[in-house]
Structure 1
């Protein structure tokens, strides 16, 4: 489960091991004089830990181990005990949080975190493994371009920042904050004079009426003193250069399905350049309807040049607020421009129903809900209206052309991926193909002796209207049900897709005689190349 502060994961043990549960998240920050560091947030669920009874009450105790590696090199490892709070007799065990800071140089690492319930008599140890990438957020470094050669007419106002400044150097990750208080005594939770209690999930249920966040802005002093920025400034006889160096911090929440900014959930700040500019803010979400959302952080200079941006995903559940209806199904009778348009050629209600269902792979959750729960499939006009405005909102200039182009892809998917009981667009491979387009490579492996038939799809660049562009993403599909032709998605490293660290083990479970909940990778199998194909697809 990915969230804006880096990665969040759920530890979950077996019932035999008292069902140990914990939430884990992390975020990258920069100490200007020391370099980047990774901050980790581990929330342990008190009711999932074995409690030791004392006269004062009960408490739990765990052994936490961190292991960071890069090949055979281990730049960081630590193991320590954490004792939970004492719970008075008859009181529900309290959750508690452990937070660490791990200094790391820029690069890619493998992080492994384990939790051992010291009061549990079994040998179960919960574990999560995660690849992490530490970005280079050090001092800004010019490229080979000569700063003195950059003139205002060569870098017009409002243009993108030139390559002198490397993307990602201005903003830290975003830390989700559950609550905060003024610091009375500095501690591991302290930032910018406040003690920040981290929020370790990307799910906000009813009862959570605000979303808090903290982030830091770096390298603004270097940028606003650069010859590039000073060259953009108009002649300034009044000497208000310092005011021109103010920059804008823009924070807002947008619908993750359509990119629409939620009304009332946007905030602007002006800040002056400093070595580190901390920002702590919260939005009320008591009136935010259930759905998928992004929280977005931007910084811009006075020329409105976008310097850096961070985007993160979260889910909201709020049954007290009715979701916003799909706008194009609420048109006034006098505005029904679809009548007599290109959709009028589709008169068969069954065909229209099929056309609406095949839109699911590229639809928002609200649109899917509209079709599944509110659509009257006997009302031809209602279905024509939906089809028309669905494509009008996506391509106002040529909605019919966009629809016909998509329909051609649907027909291709149906021809290649349909089963005896499902149309191609309703299968996992069909959905991925229609949502992201054709993959750059497909590695088909149907006859390895000890694995289920599988395919690995590789996208060099993954483009999706629901989220930001991603690079080098893969999808693993497997045919694990005998007698069917369907390949189900069992693992992907793309955002908002199924992530299964045990996918290789599950792929080889065809030949495995035992089930080991701790095993993530399958063993070496004769003729098995799934790991190689995932790392280096052809």
Structure 2
């Protein structure tokens, strides 16, 4: 039986979580946020209890090295304390609320600080909601806030239903059932960033099947099929599939593990189907993940011979071309490209380069590359300096990733600030009035960094005004957050709020 109570504060240090930490993500909608100091990763899944409310299970992973640790003189230990608040809202009404404190274990000086994990289960009725996550590091006062739309939650009592699929690094038979990470006798070690690198050779996942009495079933036997497919498609990859026969039951928990050592790098889905004896699909659910497997080179379907990449014979030039793709590459593509450059095999490099552009424009990959190459040359002329090409600068990266800004204001000289520049985009990926503030703390006119942005997935820095003026205010605490209504620099604030 599921426990839908709000769980008490809980922490874990799991040494097994060695995967790269993407800074903050609502997994399914692929949104990430850089909290600058406190680095977190969040994932959530929906489950149901027949005759009761559904619930959302929220898993949070905090990078222990990104927290401040206070010294305890009594035992010479150090401890981090993070205040966390979850708000689930609908039309400005709070549906669920939970505020708690996440404490790290006590560390001695020099101890390795790993990740902290927390899990909460909140009962929510069916509907569409927003989730707001607020955090505050109680040892240094640093705060973050992020709000995102949740996937709609709906369970039909008149149909076979599936919960969301929780993918994991491993799932073990639990030794203790009172552990909040235990569900139906299973201890689940979640994979919150849905990334499986070269060292991950197994993919485990958990889900639940719901069959309700209201269905009045004449046949209570069902076939549950699960497989790994290409993202958004149904074709099984590398013959990774299995099935299980189940009898109708209000809740049937299912756990499965696939070996993925022969799964090439790419983006995939775990696909689950429930079928009846007629092989009709009664319910379907999928969740995405990324795989990086550089030891398995699988380009059998990519023939570069006779294509435009076949004429690129200079390995150094081709390597630079591949590096120039980083601003528009996915995380998996970036890692795979790094591996190609490490192997330094020009044939594999050609195949990767061709495959990259064929995935963007299967009919005219060369034309797509040449259009992008023109933009690369532009940013090199505008932002490159010394031996640094333009695409490796922050302004060059933003320009290539999002296109030229609709408006920008450069402030290279101002007596009390570092050089800075503000860019405005009227639209970015469905977001309106998005802005970037670049600054140069080194005072070099070409060495600009992103200081603050309101674009999802970019640096969000609530104390950017303090950092901008710290050039002439060496004693200023630039970790302080600007309070509501407070203006630190009139001109910078005006240009940020009214870019032109």
TM-score range, shorter chain: 0.5 to 0.7
Of the candidates 250, 254, 268, which is equivalent to residue 226 of structure 2?
250
Task: Please state whether the residue corresponding to 1:500 is helix, strand or coil.
Answer: coil
Unaligned runs of 5+ in 1: 14-20, 117-122, 143-164, 227-238, 463-470
Q: Distance in 2 between matches of 1:68 and 1:461?
A: 26
Of the candidates 45, 51, 62, which is equivalent to residue 28 of structure 1?
45
Residues matched between the structures, number: 444
Q: Does 1:410 align with 2:380?
A: no
- Report how far residue 403 of structure 1 moved: 1.1
Q: Distance in 1 between matches of 2:480 and 2:315?
A: 51
Q: Does 1:309 align with 2:286?
A: yes
Where does residue 19 of structure 2 map in the other structure? none
- Report how far residue 477 of structure 1 moved: 5.6
Deviation track 1:348-376 (CA, whole Å, cap 9, x = no partner) reads 99977765654555563434543575156
Distance 1:416 1:102, change over 3 A: same
Task: Please state whether the residue corresponding to 1:453 is helix, strand or coil.
Answer: strand
Q: Distance in 2 between matches of 1:199 and 1:72?
A: 31
Deviation track 1:130-156 (CA, whole Å, cap 9, x = no partner) reads 3244443134499xxxxxxxxxxxxxx
Task: Please state whether the residue corresponding to 2:464 is helix, strand or coil.
Answer: helix
Where does residue 454 of structure 1 map in the other structure? 422
Q: Distance in 2 between matches of 1:292 and 1:493?
A: 29
Matched-pair contact (CA < 8 Å) for 1:99–1:189: yes
Deviation track 1:479-519 (CA, whole Å, cap 9, x = no partner) reads 43645357645567888x5x4332x5336622243244463
- Report how far residue 478 of structure 1 moved: 1.9
Matched-pair contact (CA < 8 Å) for 1:455–1:476: yes
Matched-pair contact (CA < 8 Å) for 2:169–2:191: yes
Deviation track 1:150-203 (CA, whole Å, cap 9, x = no partner) reads xxxxxxxxxxxxxxx9xxx95436253554324664553332232435556767
Deviation track 1:204-234 (CA, whole Å, cap 9, x = no partner) reads 688766443333456x659x969xxxxxxxx
Matched-pair contact (CA < 8 Å) for 1:45–1:96: yes
Distance 1:43 1:241, change over 3 A: same
**Which structure 2 residues correspond to residues 190-205 of structure 1 after superposition, within 5 A?**
190-198=182-190
Q: Distance in 2 between matches of 1:132 and 1:204?
A: 25
Matched-pair contact (CA < 8 Å) for 2:27–2:192: no
Task: State the TM-score, normalizing by the size of structure 2.
Answer: 0.62
Distance 1:297 1:425, change over 3 A: same
- Report how far residue 261 of structure 1 moved: 7.5
Q: Distance in 1 between matches of 2:345 and 2:124?
A: 53
Of the candidates 497, 514, 519, which is equivalent to residue 481 of structure 2?
519
**Which structure 2 residues correspond to residues 460-471 of structure 1 after superposition, within 5 A?**
461=429
**Which structure 2 residues correspond to residues 6-17 of structure 1 after superposition, within 5 A?**
none
Of the candidates 324, 334, 339, which is equivalent to residue 296 of structure 2?
324
Q: Does 1:278 align with 2:278?
A: no
Q: Distance in 2 between matches of 1:360 and 1:92?
A: 32
Distance 1:442 1:324, change over 3 A: farther
Matched-pair contact (CA < 8 Å) for 2:82–2:137: yes
Q: Does 1:65 align with 2:83?
A: yes
- Report how far residue 456 of structure 1 moved: 4.0
Where does residue 133 of structure 2 map in the other structure? 111
Matched-pair contact (CA < 8 Å) for 2:270–2:286: yes
Matched-pair contact (CA < 8 Å) for 2:227–2:236: no
Task: State the TM-score, normalizing by the size of structure 1.
Answer: 0.59
Q: Does 1:510 align with 2:456?
A: no
Q: Distance in 1 between matches of 2:309 and 2:298?
A: 19
Of the candidates 459, 467, 473, which is equivalent to residue 500 of structure 1?
459
Q: Distance in 2 between matches of 1:77 and 1:479?
A: 37
Distance 1:192 1:489, change over 3 A: same
Larger radius of gyration: 1
Matched-pair contact (CA < 8 Å) for 1:99–1:188: yes
Deviation track 1:13-54 (CA, whole Å, cap 9, x = no partner) reads 7xxxxxxx9866442323441233343445786999679799
Once the two structures are overlaid, the 10-residue window that deviates more, 296-305 or 191-200, is 296-305
Q: Distance in 2 between matches of 1:413 and 1:91?
A: 45
Of the candidates 111, 115, 131, which is equivalent to residue 147 of structure 2?
131
- Report how far residue 452 of structure 1 moved: 2.4
Matched-pair contact (CA < 8 Å) for 1:298–1:310: no
Matched-pair contact (CA < 8 Å) for 1:443–1:457: yes
Of the candidates 112, 116, 119, which is equivalent to residue 99 of structure 1?
119
Distance 1:491 1:30, change over 3 A: farther
Unaligned runs of 5+ in 2: 1-22
Q: Distance in 2 between matches of 1:352 and 1:225?
A: 60
Task: Please state whether the residue corresponding to 2:130 is helix, strand or coil.
Answer: strand
Where does residue 18 of structure 1 map in the other structure? none
Where does residue 16 of structure 2 map in the other structure? none
- Report how far residue 453 of structure 1 moved: 1.0
Q: Distance in 1 between matches of 2:352 and 2:39?
A: 43
Q: Distance in 2 between matches of 1:490 and 1:352?
A: 32
Distance 1:375 1:456, change over 3 A: farther
Distance 1:511 1:327, change over 3 A: same
Supply the RMSD in Å over aligned alpha carbons: 5.8
Of the candidates 341, 361, 374, which is equivalent to residue 344 of structure 2?
374
